[in-house]
Structure 1
Amino acid sequence: MTMTDHAIAPPVVPPNEPQPDNIPAGNISADAPAVPATKYGKVVLAPMVRSGQLATRLLSLKYGADIVWGPETIDKSLIGCERVENPKTGCVDYVRTGLIFRACPSREKSKFIFQMGTAAPDTAVAAAKIVAQDVSGIDVNSGCPKPFSTHAGMGAALLKDIPRLLSILTALVENVGLSTPYALPISVKIRLLPTIEETHALVTSLCKTGISKLTLHCRTPPMRPREPAIRDALAGTAKICKEAGVEFFVNGEIKGWDDAQRVIKEYDIDGGAMIAVAAESNPSCFVPNHLGGPKPWREVVTEYMLIAMSVENPISNTKFCILNMVPGKNEIHKVLSRAKTYRELCEALGLECTYPEDLDLGTLKTQRVKAQEEKQAQLQVERAERQKKLADFKRKKTEAEGEEKKEEEGSNKRVKVDVGERSNATTGAAVAELAATDMLLPGGAAEPIQAVV
């Protein structure tokens, strides 16, 4: 494969710079034959969740990646998918309730390895057969330490269940491998075990399953990307794979094409090296230094946006990827982080937007945002109506309580008057009766009795 395949014009090599072994002395003109990208081994794009979607893979290939691994896709999510071709973009979508996986066979198939998350041989084989026509290999993820993978027995969890991992690889080799009509090379990506001896024993067992490729991520499952890679087991692993005829790739802290070649040569790796973090922040890391090396972020972001729009990459993924490429301290980073459509992204970057407007304004994320805004507006209207009804209720209640109080006060006055009148009448009658009685008594007083009421 040549750099011409990726449409990158080789720049002039300064005369005072050391010339690579496979390049003629002197400067290289724009019309000169392209220099092979591979020197000691292949340099490939590592499988990365989100960052390894179609647009990043195509851009990495353009900048010189020899092979690209896709992000982990769960086998069960593929089973039952509908394969939909898009003649406008040349892409193939695997759709169920939503987009599960997108590939572009016309631009990447011969260099694209599909990575699968699986925990069972039968579902692994079923999923592999579904995507077989659009990929050039099947890789089993047995190194991812993230809970979304390990909780279901996938990823790094398989390193704790070696018999299950071996059965999955054996099933794939026997059902969709190179000796079957599907003719797909099967590979596996692992992490370091606690000791070098355990790691070498695992690699020996894996090579016996018939796999074609094996990648060792030089970190243990608990280790994070910021921790230095451990390369003590590399030389022995490379030797085991070479003797078994298995192409071996190293992963972990590879910073670019030149760094990859250094590690490949140092550990006598018969295969290549994977780039992950460096490619996430700048996919042009696949350009060798003697061809100009990595490009400025603005140039890379522009190329990425053009590819993303050409394959109708989902806005959410495009935004995520370019935010990883644009320096966080740059003012444009803040503007891009607020964008919700391709048009807003292109406006911030000073680019012409070629993304279909109906898709741009009708993306699921935009629809959700719009629906959320409409819901909030509706909630505000309902809240205002409830507050108005509550105010009316309180006012009517206050008025009703006022009327009841007035009626109660009036009733109390009437009761007091009636009681007073009845009391006076009773007292008067009692006095009169007492007076009459007193006058009738023998020796009673002749003077009338008066009562004060």
Structure 2
Amino acid sequence: MSSAPIKLKGYDFFRQTLKSPKFVLAPMVASSELAYRALTRRHGATLCYTPMFHARLFSEPPNHRYRKEQWSTNAEDRPVIVQFCANDPDVLLKAARMVEDDCDAVDINLGCPQNIAKRGKYGSFLQEDWPLIEKLVKTLDENLKVPVTVKIRVFADVEKTVAYAKMVEAAGAQMLTVHGRLREQKGHVTGLADWDKIKAVKEAVNIPVLANGNILYYEDIQRCMDYTGVDGVMSAEATLYNPAIFDEKYKDMPPYSWEMALEYLEIAKEVEAITPCIKAHLFKLFQPALPIHTDLRHAMAAAKTWDDYYAVTLKLKERLQQDEATIGEENLKGQVDDRGVRQYGHWRCQVRREKRLRNDLIFFFFSSAALHSPRQVSGD
């Protein structure tokens, strides 16, 4: 009779199972689905998270459609970590057991700051309830075949943040992702992601730590790792606008938006991605171009099928190639203008203008006036 496989912990899990990932795609609701995970893997991502799943909806029999639409994987989709939000240890365990044979770990979301998380009492709105958090983590650690990992936000006080992280570690978490901003930092008040708090957590715990917060350009990754000492860097929103952010090939010039869109569409067709995900991704990939080509923006909004999206994408490719030929890229190679915004052609993938503006201005300030302080504006 063969014995059950040994469940690896901490750095053994990080190195042997996850293969020491440095570039990590974040869990994003309706965005880090199988097709997009595959696209980012092709362009440098070495670990991917699923979207955040609601444990109760995922595990209850009447919600079979929810589970089928939200969760899919294949042999190439590894390593992968499945993330759940929950506030009941038994419900969380039931959901986690439904995926444990098809993933490398299960992650608990303690970072979601949205109002829906407040109403449902999950995500970052559990962070004051340490006994419940401890029980959630401990239940998975003691009963799952795979390790449990946790994603948190920071507190205003660094000592409390460190104590929080150590409590999560002691409860059984085998890896920790630290989102370096407060629960209140979201939307128009996103503000700075505090790399100092991430660094403090990394120095205090004995498990692998990933940093999350404002990775907008390829060079931000190593800068974050050098300062905080983390084991890897997670990026969320920036990857939606530039899925090749982890790809060294594009470190000096981002890829063409139509190039990424066509590659994504081929993957989406192969894995039968649901069309709402396709629409959302294409709008983000083409966000610099759609305000210029408004007729195609309307066509994209009206699209319903894969064929519709493919046709609009081919039209955008033609238009954008014409734009590049007419305008050229001599002055659009990432030069920083007088407002601190890096300049690229609207035919290339790039983070939303307002986020680039905030990041570049803040980086300029800290680079010029406070060279040893790399705290960043939040982008994820």
Whether the TM-score (by the shorter chain) exceeds 0.5 is yes
Task: Work out whether 1:260 is the aligned partner of 2:229.
Answer: no
Partner of 1:391: none
Go from structure 1 to structure 2 and tell me whether the alpha carbon gap of 1:257 and 1:113 turns closer, same or farther (over 3 Å shift). Answer: farther
- Structure 2 matches for 1:46-195, cutoff 5 A? 46-81=26-61, 95-96=64-65, 99-108=68-77, 110-176=78-144, 182=145, 184-195=146-157
Q: What is the Cα deviation at residue 104 of structure 1?
A: 1.8
What's 2:291 paired with?
A: 329
- The gaps in structure 2 that reach 5 residues or longer are 1-19, 316-380
8 A contact 1:287–1:293 mirrored in 2 = no
Could you say which residue in structure 1 is the equivalent of 2:204? 240
Query: After TM superposition, where is structure 1 displaced by more than 4 Å over at least 4 residues in a row?
Result: 289-293
1:215-234 matches, cutoff 5 A:
215-224=177-186, 226-234=190-198
Aligned residue for 1:113, secondary structure, equals strand
Contact 2:244 2:250 in 1 (8 A): no
Match of 1:202 in 2: 164
Per-residue CA deviations over 1:354-396 (Å, capped at 9, x if unaligned) read xxxxxxxxxxxxxxxxxxxxxxxxxxxxxxxxxxxxxxxxxxx
Shift of 1:335: 2.1
d(CA) in 1 for partners of 2:280, 2:226: 34
SS at match of 2:215: coil
Preserved CA contact (<8 Å) 2:81 2:103 = yes
Give the counterpart letter for 1:150 in structure 2.
K
Does structure 2 retain, via aligned residues, the 8 Å contact 1:77–1:100? no
Instruction: Give, in angstroms, the shift of residue 120 of structure 1.
Output: 1.2
Q: CA deviation at 1:162?
A: 1.2
- Structure 1: 5+ residue stretches without partners: 1-39, 83-93, 177-181, 352-453
Answer yes or no: is the 8 Å Cα contact 2:196–2:228 preserved in 1: no
Are 1:43 and 1:257, in contact at CA under 8 Å, matched by a contact in 2? no
Secondary structure (helix, strand or coil) at the match of 1:69 reads strand
1:315 partnered with 2:275: yes
Which residue is equivalent to 1:397? Answer: none
Report the secondary structure of 1:233's partner residue: helix
Identical positions, percent? 27
Kept in 2, the 8 Å contact 1:95–1:101? The answer is no
Contact 1:74 1:118 (C-alpha < 8 Å) held by counterparts: yes
SS at match of 1:72: strand
Structure-2 change in CA distance of 1:293 and 1:272 (3 Å): farther
- Distance in structure 2 (CA, Å) of the matches to 1:319 and 1:135: 27
The Cα shift of 1:56 comes to 1.1
Cα displacement string for residues 210-244 of structure 1 (whole angstroms, at most 9, x for unaligned residues): 21110111110110254221222122111112xx2
Report how many residues are paired: 291
Letter in 1 for 2:228: Y
User: Relative CO higher for 1 or 2, CA cutoff 8 Å, sep ≥ 6?
Assistant: 2
Aligned with 1:95: secondary structure? helix
**Secondary structure of 2:269 counterpart:** helix
Q: Alpha carbons of 1:348 and 1:257: their partners in 2 closer, same or farther (altered >3 Å)?
A: same
Return the offset for 1:97. Answer: 6.4
Contact 1:287–1:294 under 8 Å retained in 2: no
**For residue 105 of structure 1, what is the amino acid of its counterpart?**
N
Query: How far apart are the structure 2 equivalents of 1:294 and 1:124?
Result: 40
CA RMSD of aligned residues (A): 2.2
Q: Secondary structure at the match of 2:221?
A: helix
Residue 103 of structure 1 aligns to a residue whose secondary structure is coil
Give the superposition deviation at 1:196. 0.7
Residues 78-126 of structure 1 deviation map (CA, whole Å, 9 limit, x = unaligned): 21459xxxxxxxxxxx934673422223120x31110001101111111
Q: Secondary structure at the match of 2:84?
A: strand
Q: Which amino acid aligns with 1:169?
A: V
Q: Given the superposition, is the C-alpha separation of residues 79 and 55 from structure 1 closer, same or farther in structure 2, using an over 3 Å criterion?
A: same
Is the radius of gyration larger for structure 1 or structure 2? 1
On the 8 A contact 1:80/1:96 being kept in 2, the answer is no
8 Å Cα contact 1:169/1:186 also seen in 2: yes
Supply the AA of the counterpart residue of 1:333.
Answer: R
